[in-house]
């Protein structure tokens, strides 16, 4: 074997664990675990507009909104910054997002866009992560074939968008979310009085 071939082979062997580790961490279980680790840390809910850094900006982890559960979990589990990804996609395709229609905004805002469920729904669908859109007015536990790390959205208390991450499934499904009292893990059946909207499986 030539010196070049030996160096190439050795490089591939040394690189293999790193590639393998990356592939293993970008699965649903890692995302679910990262969401669970926010329990007891994020103890409050605050939807106030905040000016934050970009990229990798965040409000204090002791507080936040439901979307922050996903944003933080993606950073912790997969080293993926949804703030940057959503912002960059909105810069290129602003008209595809509800920010221009629902809130009447004229341009993307990296402080808040990734913290809005409607924008995350749009981004996830544009990434091919949509598995099912639930029939209108279906109960909030009307999801099938759920796995750890799947992302679910609802309209709670009428029309308020909400998001959670499946912590365990497909049996005895539990969801991590922040609906107003900090990040918690609760059984899916507790959502049955709300309206189910969509089921995503995003593996980035």
- The whole-angstrom separation of Cα 148 and Cα 130 is 15
Half-sphere exposure of 125 (CA within 13 A, CB side): 16
Residues 6+ apart with CB under 8 A from 67: 114, 115, 116, 117, 120, 163
- Taking only the tens of pLDDT, the chain with its 204 residues reads 444 444 433 343 333 333 333 444 489 999 999 999 999 999 999 999 999 999 999 999 999 999 999 999 999 999 999 999 999 999 999 999 997 778 788 999 999 999 999 999 999 999 999 999 999 889 999 999 999 999 999 999 989 999 999 999 999 999 999 999 999 999 999 999 999 999 999 988
- The whole-angstrom separation of Cα 138 and Cα 26 is 31
On whether the pTM is more than 0.85, the answer is: yes
**For position 137, what pLDDT does the model report?**
85
Residue 134 carries which DSSP code? P
Contact assessment for residue 61 and residue 38, using Cβ atoms and an 8 Å cutoff = yes
122: tokens are 């749009």
**For position 148, what pLDDT does the model report?**
98
Contacts of residues 48-56 at CB distance under 8 Å and 24 or more positions apart, as own/partner, are 49/111, 49/112, 50/111, 50/112, 51/111, 52/110, 52/111, 54/83, 54/84, 54/87, 54/110, 54/111, 55/81, 55/83, 55/84, 55/87, 55/110, 56/81, 56/83, 56/84
Nearest alpha carbon to residue 159 among 194, 189, 191: 194
């Amino acid at each position: 074997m030539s010196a070049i071939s030996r160096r190439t082979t050795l490089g591939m062997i040394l690189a293999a664990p790193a590639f393998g580790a990356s592939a293993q961490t970008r699965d649903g279980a890692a995302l679910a675990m990262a969401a669970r680790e926010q329990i007891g840390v994020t103890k409050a809910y605050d939807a106030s507009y905040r000016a934050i850094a970009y990229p990798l900006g965040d409000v204090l982890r002791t507080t936040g909104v439901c979307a922050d559960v996903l944003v933080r979990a993606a950073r912790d589990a997969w080293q993926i910054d949804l703030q940057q990804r959503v912002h960059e996609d909105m810069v290129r395709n602003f008209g595809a997002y509800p920010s221009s229609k629902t809130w009447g905004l004229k341009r993307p805002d990296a402080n808040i866009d990734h913290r809005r469920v409607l924008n995350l729904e749009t981004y996830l669908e544009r990434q091919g992560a949509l598995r099912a859109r639930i029939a209108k007015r279906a109960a909030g536990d009307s999801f099938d074939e759920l796995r750890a790390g799947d992302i679910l959205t609802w309209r709670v208390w009428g029309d308020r968008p909400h998001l959670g991450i499946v912590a365990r499934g497909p049996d005895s499904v539990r969801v991590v979310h922040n609906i107003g009292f900090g990040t918690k893990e609760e059984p899916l059946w507790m959502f049955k009085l709300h309206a189910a909207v969509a089921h995503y499986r995003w593996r980035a």
